[in-house]
Structures are given as structure tokens and as C-alpha cells.
Chain A
Amino acid sequence: MEQPVGAHWHRVRLNTRMISAQSFGDSGKMKEYHYTGPVEQRFSPYAFNGGTVLAVAGEDFAIVASDTRLSEGYSIHSRDSPKCYKLTDTTVIGCSGFHGDCLTLTKIIDARLKMYKHSNNKMMTSGAIAAMLSTILYGRRFFPYYVYNIIGGLDEEGKGAVYSFDPVGSYQRDTYKAGGSASAMLQPLLDNQIGFKNMEGVQHVPLSKDKAVQLVKDVFISAAERDVYTGDALRICVITKEGIDEQTMPLRKD
């Protein structure tokens, strides 16, 4: 019995971090700096794939922007996986969170859009899409889609509209919203620059399209600096009554 114990000790010294049932069983005592006992590893149906989405509404335009990095844990799966999906000529949705749910959700939305088009002979408006998405998300209240959605588009009057969602369907119309992994960094910046919050004696100028696009680019460059899940490239969709214009800009790749 001596030999195995000696061998076991050797093993333990090398792998002090590892959970070893033998180290527990042999001596009967728990090692002090050791995590002991079995750990139940539950299968999680979710994964976090990172990414940041941002939408801004202007007087007659809307912008939806996202980075294009798809990551999981410490790896990057893809550097070219944009998170903006075009729904209609006047609406774009940005989905970040769990990529599997993003794909399925956009498929479901597309199908519902087609159904609506065929039965009502018109395209769904941005507000209607938002209300529909809220009920689709809530339909899975007890096993939610792990997706942070932001819809950007033009409303019936041609004004810019942004609708932001939580994963279970609560939504709200906003002027600007950031969602995804870097949202906590971007939202305060947008509050300050677009909402003029917490600034004294500043004239509230309405945002022009070019200024908004430049602001979005600057904001994403900052996000890529500090958030590991954001980077690689930036895809911007600018929605105006002429249509949807897409631009791509490179970001940090590290």
C-alpha cells in the first residue's frame, strides 16, 4: 500500500488545484487549500458570444451599428459576424448575446414578417415589429431567448425610432440605446453626448446624420479598447427614407 500512496502524493503535489477524489478518500482528511468533493456541472443551454449593438434615432434617420466579433470564452469564433439584421426597408434589428438564439429569433421574425405581408398586403411598421417581438420573447418567459435586441428604423411619420428590449420582452421606445457586452460603457457616453445629460449650460442641438455616424464610430473605438468581446470591425447601417446604407470600418483586432 505504500507505493500507491507515495505515487498519489507525487500526483497531488503537481496538481494541487485539481479535484482529486483519491486525495480525499485515502487519508480521510480534507486538504486545506484544496477544493474537495464532487461538483455538479450542470449543462447550460446558453452560451455567451459577446458583441455590442448600438442604435441612435435622429430626426429623419436611424442608425444601427454593431461590432462583428463572435467570441466564446477565451476564443474568437469569427471576426466577420455582424449582429445587425435587415428586416424591412425601414427597419434593422441588432441582436447580441447568445448567437444561437439570435439566429433562431431572426428566422422567426422573418417568417412572421412574411406572414404579415401575405395576409395584410403591407409591410410591418417598426412599431408593429417591436410589439410583435415583445410577445415572441415573452412566449418563452420561462426559457428565454438570451438575446439583447435593439430595433432601429423609421416610424410611419418618417422619424427615427429606436426600440430596446430586455431578454424577456419588456420594451420601450428610446432615442438611443446600447446593448450587449460593452453596453455599460457606451450608454453613459451616449447619455452625455446625445442626451446632453449632466451637462450644464449646453445648447441642445439636434443630431445630424453625419455627426451621428462619426459619434458611433468614436464610441465603438472606445468600446473596443476596454471590452474584450468587442472589436475586429464595425458594421453601421444608416436607415433613411432612401433606404438602408451599410458601411464597415475596422476596429482593433486584439
Chain B
Amino acid sequence: MALQDLCNFQDVFLDSVTTECSSVHFGKKTGCDFMQGSPFSNSSSLFNFYIPVAECLDESPIQYGQISNTQSSSTLLSHDSVLPSFSLPMNPPPASPEPVPLPFPISHGTTTLAFLFQGGVLAAADTRSSCAGQVACPASLKIRPVHSHMVSTTSGTSADCALWVRILSRELRLYQLRHGRRLSISGAAKLLSHMLHPFKGTKLCVAAILCGWDGGEGDGRHDNGGTKTDLGGCTETTKKIAKSLDTSLQKTQSSSPTLGGQQHLTREKIRFSGPSLFYVCSDGTRLQGALFSVGSGSPYAYSILDQDVKWELTLDEATSIARQAVYRATHWDAYSGNHVDIFHISSKGWTRRSREDLKEEYYREKERRERGMRRDVT
């Protein structure tokens, strides 16, 4: 459930102010609601934002739009696309006894990486899932698309990553339907981080890099036309947006945080558009950056990436660097291996390069070395 749904429960604040939008229910778009982008257009609305955010950290995850088991049988039979009886596990109470010792190990270990460059974002990962010293799956998918303009590289426990990325896609889709535009990568990272927070201290292990393109084609935004993106770099687009904003609006934005009944742009800060990269971890970390590598093979990948990654890379150069980094990591790290997956995200969306078997690369390199040695000898 998006944070706004939690906000709606705070009836005590809505009652005090009467604007036309305060009576709008979620899911129903009236003209004014659409323009506003939010039902809160009153002076106490800022107050509203703080409380739900704090609440969601304490509330049981059941409140995050997950339907509890008791309701599922009666209410959601018609809607199988929602996960009917999937309720997030309850927050383990602080004074709980030790968690049940598991008789089996859960899968871990990987190499994933992502970086920004002039052509967008490149994400790469190996495909080995290991479990207690055995390879549980040699062809697992560690880079999962979240929506048309975002993918998530996942590391940690496979089940946790798979399910949480799925939950994130669902929440982002709901946000898109309610607000008519996609949530930014930064917002998505924050949402994921807040959803994972109740599980801090438990055995849940998710370390994801959210890679995406904010704005881009197909984002149904009704703000100024200044968000047309080109691959010329982030700074240009931000300048474009800044130029086309009303000066009065800018003043409002910078001076007071209150949201009056103004144009829709008031709420939206200077909208960033372009590639973006966030690292989110189940221990609470949320970092923005230009280059990340996660997993047991990440030190090896970092060494290759630090040498060669620059903003000015072409797509082919970037692909080859990413491939090389994963290859080297799979060579040295026992828990990484098999194939390499590469995804590229641009303003048009994500594209996937076909999976490549690194065994072939190893033999090619061996041959190159031998040829090199033979040349030296002769």
C-alpha cells in the first residue's frame, strides 16, 4: 500500500480542513485530484506526511496493503492478481523466543554490478545460486525488471529478493495508477527501504541495486514539457526543467513548504529526469551512487570497474567492461559463476543482452594466452 493509503487513515486531520479534494477517495480520479497529484492540499498536509512515515516503521507489515489471512477467503476471491492469502509475516515481537532453527540452508552468494554512463544505466550479474556449497541453480535470474524503465539487481537470499522485488513492482504499479506517473527511482528505493525496515534484525537478506531511468518515454506526466530527455546527460535536463518552471512557483517551493491549492507543480520539486542508481539493503542502507557492485564477488568486480568506468563510455565499451568484471569475479569467487546477464536501461526502457556462457570466455582467454606465449617463444 503506498504511503498515501496510510495517510488516508488519518481522518482526524482531513476533517479539520475542507477543500474539494479532501473528500476524494483513493482510486477515483476527479479532475482536480489528478491535477493536484495528491488529496492533501491544506496547510496541515505536511504534518500528515510525517506521521504516516513514522507510523509505517512501527506498524505491522500487514498494514502495507497486504491482506491478512483472515480476510483473504472472503474478500479477495475475485481478484487473483492480488496475492490473496499472501500476508507478510508478522513482525517478530521483540521479546520473541529464538527463531526456529532451520534444518536447511538458504541460498546466498553472487556478483552483481551496475553503473551510470552517458548511454543510461548498465546492470550486469552472474547466474549462479549456491546453497550450502552446492549449486542450487546454475541459471538463475538475478536482474529482474520492475517496470518498463527500472530493473533491480538482487543479491542475498534468492527467495527474499524475488518476492520483495515483486512486491515493489506491485506497489509501483499501484502508485502509477493512482498518480498518473511513475514513482522516481529515488522514491522507489525509499519505498523498498521502508518496507524492509520492519524486518531489520531478522534473517531476511536483500541487497538490491535499483537501476532505472526517471521520466523517459511513456511516462504519463502532465507537468511541463521540460522533461523531454535526451542522452546528453542529467544536468542538461535538470536545467531544462528549471527554466520552464514558473518563477512564482519556484519562489513558493523554496520559501515555504506548505502546499496551498496551487498548480500541480507546487508539490513536485524540480523533477529530475535521467538515469539513476540506488543501492538498498535490508539492514536499512539506501545510497545513491554512480557505480555499485554487490555480493561475494564484488571486490573482484570493483577492481575492474574502477579502472575503466567513465561517463563517456559507449554502449559497447560499457557492455564489455561489465562483462569482463563479472567474468573476473566468477573466476575468483566460488559462489559466482556460470553465465552473465547484462541489462541496459535508457530513456526508452530496458533491453536485455542475451545470456552468455562464461565457460566459453574462459577457453577463449586460455587460447589467447597460449597464442601470446607461442608468439613470444618464436
A contact set with B: CB distance below 8 Å: 42, 44-46, 48, 112, 115-116, 118-120, 128, 134-144, 146, 164, 166-172, 174, 184
Contacts and interface: CB of A to CB of B under 8 A. Distances in A.
Interface string B150-164: 000000011111110
Nearest to B134: A184
A118 B80 CA distance: 12
Give 4 nearest A-B pairs by CB, closest first: A170-B159, A170-B158, A168-B159, A119-B77
Interface in B144-175: 157-163
B102 interface: yes
Interface in B53-88: 73, 77-78, 80, 83-88
15 contacts: A42-B101, A44-B103, A115-B73, A115-B77, A134-B162, A135-B86, A146-B102, A166-B106, A166-B136, A166-B158, A169-B159, A170-B129, A170-B161, A172-B139, A172-B141
Q: Which of B136, B141, B159, B203 has the largest number of chain A CB atoms within 10 A?
A: B159
A139 B86 contact: yes
Contact of A138 (B84, B86, B99, B101): B86
B159 A139 contact: no
A138 B104 contact: no
B89 interface: yes
A5 B141 CA distance: 67
Interface residues of B, number: 38
Interface string B196-212: 00000011100000000
Contact of B80 (A120, A141, A167): A120
B163 A138 contact: yes
B257 interface: no
B89 A140 contact: yes
Given A142-B92, A142-B202, A171 B162 contact: yes
Residue of A116, A142, A144, A167 with most chain B CB atoms under a 10 A cut-off: A142
B315 interface: no
A44 B101 contact: yes
A169 B158 CA distance: 9
Contacts of A167: 104, 106
B137 A172 contact: yes
B158 A139 contact: no
A85 B218 CA distance: 45
Contacts of A128: 80
Contacts of B107: 166, 170
A120 B158 CA distance: 31
Contacts of B139: 172, 174
Given A48-B103, A136-B86, A138-B163, A168 B78 contact: no
B249 interface: no
Contact of A169 (B104, B136, B162): B162
Contacts, number: 85
A142 B203 contact: yes
A166 B134 CA distance: 13
B131 interface: yes
B103 A141 contact: no
A112 B85 contact: yes
B377 interface: no
Interface string B268-306: 000000000000000000000000000000000000000
A142 B136 contact: no
A142 B367 CA distance: 49
A141 B204 contact: yes
B163 A118 contact: no
Contacts of B103: 44, 46, 48, 146
B100 interface: yes
Contacts of B77: 115, 118-119
A44 B103 CA distance: 9
B140 interface: yes
B159 A142 contact: no
A25 to B, nearest CB: 29
Interface string B105-116: 011000000000
B163 A134 contact: yes
A169 B101 CA distance: 18
Given A48-B103, A142-B202, A144-B102, A170 B86 contact: no
A167 B84 CA distance: 20
A168 B106 contact: yes
Contacts of A169: 159, 162-163
Contact of A141 (B89, B101, B136): B89
A115 B73 CA distance: 8
Contact of A166 (B83, B84, B159, B204): B159
Given A138-B159, A174-B139, 8 more contacts: A44-B101, A45-B100, A46-B100, A115-B84, A116-B80, A136-B86, A137-B159, A143-B99
A119 B80 CA distance: 9
A162 B101 CA distance: 30
